[in-house]
């Protein structure tokens, strides 16, 4: 079943306009990456921009939750449900419909379009939100409507501005999920959160006071990979038709079988990271020493390190791009169109890291052998970073396998000192910039029509 298409068509049939996935690098300067479906609509929710006509929208938005506010990087590979890059299906009302319809639509979609068994659906509401509770009682027995506090069920855009309670739909994957073999760690696998409905009904001022918004709005988000796992009846996002081809390719490249339990973390990390890296590169982000480009580098190098664990000693991640591009070609044809340039960029960055990874790994192992407590030397972590190109989170990821932590205070002190030295000595950048002429010949992606979100990438 093409769930993405079903979702967009469903909301289109309810009067929503279908919007394309906005760029991962958002217009909003306060955000590192687009991390939710509502991000491109933020100025409308805050009132800076007039609502469009119709005041209803739907999209399948590419989101990144690595670095920045929502950071799921540490979870990736170790839970069944988190990715760095994923698609968020959403429907939005800009001062148009509110709770009643938002709940009715969501319920209709999951039970009638996706035909999920009703008895497995659980609802959470904010403890203050009797209104939502009453509406849900029309569909779900009271016992499966659970009240939650601010932490899980109150949403706000920032310290001030639009905010409100939310209500989440969870899917009970069954008691067997309590068995340790299936349970990859991190709570929430048995009762899997699939869809978050945000009811924007207040404005919060500087003093923290809430005043009702004259025209409340709706923002919802459902992870495509998660709902696909539920619909396909598999226990993990990685066992879906979205991830399986990537895992198969990784098995083919490495010759190492994939395990669904903890032992499969490296396969999962690589499968996840190649998606994030490919889309970021396709959308113009470049490997760099800072900012977004450094997040991109960290993700790629983490993936490479996991490949190293599986015996890879030369670039391999780029070889997975063909499979990904093929799989995404309907929705994101630009991946296929720019495939060769994307592969070149990734391969080049892999080559750079493979030049130093052996020495870095040797240093890491040597230091680890000397480490008796649970704290790994901050000096060595810094040397790994500075001399061998191991981002801090990569070293931390290696240490997690042996239950140890980096001495962060020392690492940060050295980092600070180095920054000061660099500032004092700066004579212009000696860094060789990767010049990807090949990517530059394309114009930015242009949306060309509502035939299920065709993009066109024209050669200049
Ligand atoms: P979780 O509690 O599982 O971390 P969340 O509460 O942080 O999820 P929301 O911010 O409510 O997630 O995002 C809306 C939906 O997007 C979630 O219900 C889920 O289906 C999906 N989602 C969120 N984070 C991820 C992720 N890292 N990878 C894949 N899907 C995600
Ligand atoms: Mg989360
Ligand atoms: Mg949650
Ligand atoms: Mg949530």
pLDDT digit string, tens, across residues 109-137: 999 999 999 999 999 999 999 999 999 99
Question: Where is 63: in which H helix or E strand?
Answer: strand 56-64
Residue 294: other Cβ atoms inside 10 A: 14
Find the 183 Cα to ligand 2 centroid distance in Å. Answer: 17
* Contact indicator for 327, 243 with CB cutoff of 8 Å: no
User: Which of the four pLDDT bands, split at 50, 70 and 90, describes residue 284?
Assistant: very high
Residue of the CA atom closest to atom 5 of ligand 1: 193
And the tokens for 183? 């349970």
Alpha carbons 251 and 234: distance in angstroms, whole number: 20
Q: What is the value of pTM for the model shown?
A: 0.90
Looking at residue 146, its pLDDT comes to: 96
Residue 438 has pLDDT above 60, yes or no: no
**Among the bound ligands, the one closest to the CA of 36:** 1
User: Which of the four pLDDT bands, split at 50, 70 and 90, describes residue 459?
Assistant: very low
Handedness of CA 93, 97, 101, 103 (dihedral sign): positive
* Residue position matching structure tokens 């690589």: 270
Pocket test for ligand 1, best of 116, 221, 224 (most atoms within 8 A of CB): 221
For the chain, the residue count is 460
Query: Shortest CA distance to 98 belongs to which of 129, 141, 60?
Result: 129
Helices 392-400 and 378-388 cross at an angle (nearest 10°) of 130
Question: Where is 199: in which H helix or E strand?
Answer: strand 191-204
Query: Shortest CA distance to 175 belongs to which of 186, 162, 189, 154?
Result: 189
- Ligand 1 atom with least separation from CA of 76: 27
**Among the bound ligands, the one closest to the CA of 79:** 1
Looking at residue 190, its pLDDT comes to: 84
And the tokens for 253? 């490249």
- What are the residue boundaries of the structural domains of the chain, listed by start? 3-232, 243-425+432-456
Pocket test for ligand 1, best of 7, 82, 229 (most atoms within 8 A of CB): 82
Looking at residue 426, its pLDDT comes to: 62
And the tokens for 83? 């990715």
- Ligand 1 cavity residues, CB under 6 Å: 65, 72, 81-83, 86, 88, 188, 193-196, 221-223, 225-226
Find the 306 Cα to ligand 3 centroid distance in Å. Answer: 27
**Maximum distance among all alpha carbons in the chain?**
69
Query: Shortest CA distance to 237 belongs to which of 168, 171, 304?
Result: 171
Residue 80 has pLDDT above 80, yes or no: yes
Fold of 3-232: BirA Bifunctional Protein; domain 2 (3.30.930)
DSSP lists the bridge partners of residue 164 as 155
Looking at residue 149, its pLDDT comes to: 95
Question: Where is 193: in which H helix or E strand?
Answer: strand 191-204
């Amino acid at each position: 079943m093409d769930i993405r298409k079903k979702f967009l068509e469903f909301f289109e049939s309810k009067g929503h306009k279908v919007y394309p996935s906005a760029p991962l690098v958002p217009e909003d300067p306060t955000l590192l990456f687009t991390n939710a479906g509502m991000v491109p609509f933020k100025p409308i929710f805050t009132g800076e921009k007039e609502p469009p006509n119709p005041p209803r929208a739907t999209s399948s938005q590419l989101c990144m939750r690595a670095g920045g506010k929502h950071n799921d990087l540490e979870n990736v590979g170790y839970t069944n449900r988190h990715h760095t890059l994923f698609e968020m299906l959403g429907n939005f009302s800009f001062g148009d419909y509110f709770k009643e319809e938002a709940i009715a639509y969501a319920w209709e979609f999951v039970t009638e379009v996706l035909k999920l068994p009703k008895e497995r659906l659980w609802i959470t509401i904010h403890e203050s939100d009797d209104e939502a509770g009453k509406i849900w009682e029309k569909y779900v027995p009271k016992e499966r409507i659970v009240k939650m506090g601010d932490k899980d069920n109150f949403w706000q855009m920032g310290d001030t501005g639009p905010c409100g309670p939310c209500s989440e739909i969870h899917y009970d994957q069954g008691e067997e999920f309590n068995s340790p073999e299936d349970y990859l760690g991190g709570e929430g696998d048995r009762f899997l959160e699939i869809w978050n409905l945000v009811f924007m009904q207040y404005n919060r001022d500087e003093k923290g006071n809430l005043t009702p918004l004259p025209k409340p709005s709706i923002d919802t988000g459902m992870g495509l990979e998660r709902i696909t796992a539920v619909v396909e009846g598999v226990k993990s996002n990685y066992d879906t038709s979205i991830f399986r081809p990537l895992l198969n390719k990784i098995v083919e490249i490495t010759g190492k079988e994939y395990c669904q339990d903890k032992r499969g973390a490296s396969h999962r990390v690589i499968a996840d990271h190649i998606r994030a890296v490919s889309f970021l590169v396709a959308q113009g982000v470049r490997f760099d020493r800072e900012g977004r480009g450094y997040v991109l580098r960290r993700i790629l190098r983490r993936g490479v390190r996991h490949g190293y664990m599986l015996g890879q000693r030369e670039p391999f991640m780029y070889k997975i791009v063909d499979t990904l591009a093929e799989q995404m070609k309907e929705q994101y044809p630009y991946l296929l169109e720019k495939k060769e340039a994307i592969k070149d960029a990734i391969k080049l960055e892999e080559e750079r890291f493979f030049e130093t990874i052996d020495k870095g790994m040797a240093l890491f192992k040597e230091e680890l052998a000397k480490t008796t407590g649970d704290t790994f030397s901050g000096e060595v972590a810094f040397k790994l970073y500075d001399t061998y190109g191991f981002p801090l989170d990569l070293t931390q990821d290696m240490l997690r396998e042996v239950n140890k932590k980096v001495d962060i205070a020392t690492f940060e002190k050295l980092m600070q000192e180095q920054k000061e030295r660099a500032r004092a000595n700066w004579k212009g950048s000696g860094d060789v910039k990767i010049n990807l002429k090949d990517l530059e010949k394309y114009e930015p992606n242009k949306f060309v029509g509502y035939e299920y979100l065709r993009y066109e990438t024209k050669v200049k």
